């Protein structure tokens, strides 16, 4: 189309571009509707399509399970014991760690829950150096005020469960609500391993048996008056 006579070419192009720039945003909802209607139902098909779970890192893989060994309390046994459990398989080391640790909140006839009631795994992160940051809800703190042994069992169970099921992990740093836990019986501000010295239980010194008879001291023989040490009477 030729511009009207007497109308500069640059003014015509300016008017055309201005109209185009305003028209496109105003008609974008209509174009969006038209384009989406051409592929209607594609999203629904994608939900059931094989392999679509890979788009969601924490999606459960149907028909697959992950075997984990939990270090937790066993019924009728003091301290920590081990029990094998099958959990739904999820892709990625972080979702797998979260799934394994979450099992420590579940009790069975063979194993009592290791973590306090209501405790949730909020998040987890994994560094290239092999350190796992595992973040719990505030309910975890209730186990730290009970006693030294209770806190030791809970912390050691978490650390050992993660490291022994995931060999690439070298240390576990426990967080509570995204922060370093306050100092309790143990310092949790650094990564821990199952062989950390804080998990060593000191053997108590054996106490004397009150029923055992006391050993009487052996008397020292005394010299008879008027008798020398050799047993002879000294001369007068």
Cβ partners under 8 Å of residue 74, min gap 6: 81, 83, 110, 111, 112
8 A C-beta contact, residue 71 and residue 82 = yes
pTM of the model as a whole: 0.62
165 — phi, psi (to 5°)?
-95, -20
For residue 202, what pLDDT is reported?
63
Note down pLDDT in tens along the chain; length 236 residues. 555 555 566 666 677 667 666 654 555 444 444 333 332 333 333 333 333 333 344 577 787 899 999 999 998 888 899 999 999 899 899 999 999 999 999 999 999 999 999 999 999 999 989 999 999 999 998 876 667 888 899 999 999 999 999 999 999 999 999 999 887 788 899 999 999 998 887 655 555 555 656 555 566 555 555 554 455 555 55
45 token code pair: 């098909």
8 A C-beta contact, residue 178 and residue 191 = no
**What are the DSSP calls for 83-149, one per residue?**
EEEEEEEESSHHHHHHHHHHGGG---SSEE-SSPTT--EEEEEE-TTSEEEEEE-GGGGGGGTT-HH
124 token code pair: 């987890």
Q: Give me the residue spans of the domains in the chain.
A: 57-199
Q: Which helix (H) or strand (E) holds 38?
A: helix 9-38
8 A C-beta contact, residue 17 and residue 24 = no
């Amino acid at each position: 189309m030729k511009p009207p006579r007497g109308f500069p070419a640059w003014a015509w192009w300016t008017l055309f571009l201005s109209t185009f720039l305003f028209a496109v945003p105003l008609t974008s909802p209509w174009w969006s509707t038209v384009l989406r209607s051409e592929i209607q139902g594609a999203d629904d098909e994608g939900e059931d399509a094989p392999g679509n779970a890979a788009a969601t890192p924490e999606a459960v893989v149907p028909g697959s399970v992950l075997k984990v060994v939990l270090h937790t309390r066993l019924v009728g046994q003091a301290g920590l014991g081990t029990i094998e459990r099958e959990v739904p398989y999820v892709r990625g080391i972080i979702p797998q760690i979260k799934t394994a640790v979450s099992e420590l909140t579940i009790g069975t006839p063979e194993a009592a829950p290791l973590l306090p009631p209501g405790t949730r795994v909020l998040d987890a992160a994994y560094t290239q150096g092999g350190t796992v940051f595992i973040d719990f809800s505030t309910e975890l703190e209730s186990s730290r005020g009970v006693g030294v042994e209770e806190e030791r069992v809970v912390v050691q169970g978490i650390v050992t469960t993660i490291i022994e099921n995931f060999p690439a992990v070298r240390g576990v740093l426990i967080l509570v609500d995204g922060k370093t836990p306050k100092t309790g019986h143990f310092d949790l501000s650094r990564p821990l391993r199952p062989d950390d010295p804080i998990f060593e239980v000191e053997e108590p010194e054996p106490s004397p048996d009150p029923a055992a008879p006391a050993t009487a001291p052996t008397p020292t023989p005394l010299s008879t008056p008027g008798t020398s040490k050799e047993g002879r009477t000294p001369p007068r």
